[in-house]
Amino acid sequence: MALFGTDGVRGVANQELSAEMALAVGKAAGRVLGPGSQALIGRDTRVSSGMLEASVASGLTAMGVRVWMCGVVPTPALAYLIKAMGADAGVMISASHNPPEYNGIKLLDDLGRKWDPAREGAVEEIMATSASLMSLPRQIGAIHHVENEAVHRYRRYLSEVFWGLTDPLHVVVDLAHGAAISTAVPVLEHLGVKVTALHGEPLGELINQRCGATHPALLQRTVVKLKADLGMAFDGDADRLIAVDETGEVVDGDGILYALARELQQQERLAHNVVVATIMSNLGLERALEREGIELLRTPVGDRFVAQAMREGGAVLGGEQSGHIIVQQWAETGDGLLTGLCLLEVMHRRRASLSELVRPIERYPQILKNVPLVAPLSGAWEELPGLLDVVEQAEQDLGHEGRVLIRPSGTEPLLRIMIEGRSHDQAEAWIDRLVAAVESALDASQASV
């Protein structure tokens, strides 16, 4: 089974992702990089992150790689620092939006982008051959601690990019007890923004628990209560942003993409009048962009695929409904804080609230349900008995005003089912039928084993 998913190695810490596995990943990655290479390591606040950080660092240095420890920093901060410090690679220890018991290892290249599948495959191949993991006793890499320098360098970069572009607005931030605690508040306050922080303590055992980008309810209530101008919710490693407008309504990645796309278009900086998003983005976004003469190019789920399509097509803006937004002018990876600053810049330029900026989007009802998988699917989901027939019936009924999407999760043992259509009742009826069909097919396949 493949070790790397859509977002690196991920699993429950000390079980699927042990210290021994992290050591092996570090050694294999070090073998790929080669002696004398330089790598940065960052982490989020999870209890297990320090353990995995030490293991990866040991593996890299055992293979002759020099390591710079950056401490608690967002994934996009590490991506920036790799380029800024001239390193060959980076390793981020984080499980992003997952619960506290999970953790992950992301390998980043010299441009701060995720390693391509071929390179990740080379790591897996080396790990499968124990002889390839022999340490190099004469070429041990040194470890350097640059925690303070790293975080201050990233803060300074964002402050310089957006200096003078924000009004003295009131922003509420939900830091999710994660990596954003080291960056968001200092940068916003340096730019003159009044900030109220939620979940700002570095409590790794509570990361993403009823807070942050996946649980914005408290942020919504707080924005309304304090009459704030904007809410920003980050996930555990702060590479995504879910916004809340001044009325308390959630503005997800689709809304953010629309607001930024219109601004770039008005400035004649939206290359090819194209925005890249995934198959999960709402049809309402696609229709709203069409009215402005902007094409929406869709990719499979995963910011890796968005970034690849942007590079191949020369697009300057792309992202996911979940809040991973890539603004190519400033970064090649999703950056929650940078995205929030871009929104503030648009609000400043247009003298408009966020609710006004996203009002043209008429959202289609979209229902997503997850079916747990006891074991990995033996084949593609299309091979589940009887499921394709139900999918075809749903697509015929929904017509051009709806969609059916079924896909395995890239990070969890789940089969994700999404229905989108003009009618909420129609979408709900079809998703119930599809879930029932999947569960029945899974029960039948397990009974036959």
b (16+ CB within 10 A) / e for 85-123: bebbbbbbbbbbbbebbbbbbbbbbbebbbbeeebbeeb
DSSP assigned state of 159: H
15 sits in which H/E element = none
Smallest Cα–Cα separation from 88: which of 128, 126, 40, 56?
40
Structure tokens at 308: 């690849």
Residue 128 CB: number of other CB atoms within 10 A? 12
CB contact at 8 A, 294 and 270: yes
Structure tokens at 185: 């508040």
Give me the count of residues in the chain.
449
Catalogue the E-assigned strands of 306-434.
317-319, 325-327, 366-372, 403-408, 414-420
Residue 340 CA, distance from chain mean position: 14
Structure tokens at 100: 């506290």
Using the structure block, give the residue that is written with the tokens 């709806």: 402
The active-site residue out of 37, 48, 55, 96 is 96
Structure tokens at 327: 């603004």
DSSP assigned state of 131: G
Is residue 96 annotated as a catalytic residue, yes or no?
yes
β pairing state of 325-327 and 317-319? antiparallel
The arrangement of strands across the sheet holding 403-408 comes to 366-372, 414-420, 403-408
273 sits in which H/E element = none
SS3 84: helix
Q: Please state the φ and ψ torsions of residue 188, each to the nearest 5 degrees.
A: -60, -45
Give 407: exposed, middle or buried? Use CB within 10 Å, 0-12, 13-18, 19+. Answer: middle
Distances (CA, A) of 311 to 82, 121, 276, 304, 318: 19, 22, 10, 11, 10
Concatenated DSSP letters of 170-181: EEEEE-TTSGGG
Give 157: exposed, middle or buried? Use CB within 10 Å, 0-12, 13-18, 19+. Answer: middle
CB contact at 8 A, 17 and 105: yes
Q: Supply the residues annotated as catalytic.
A: 96
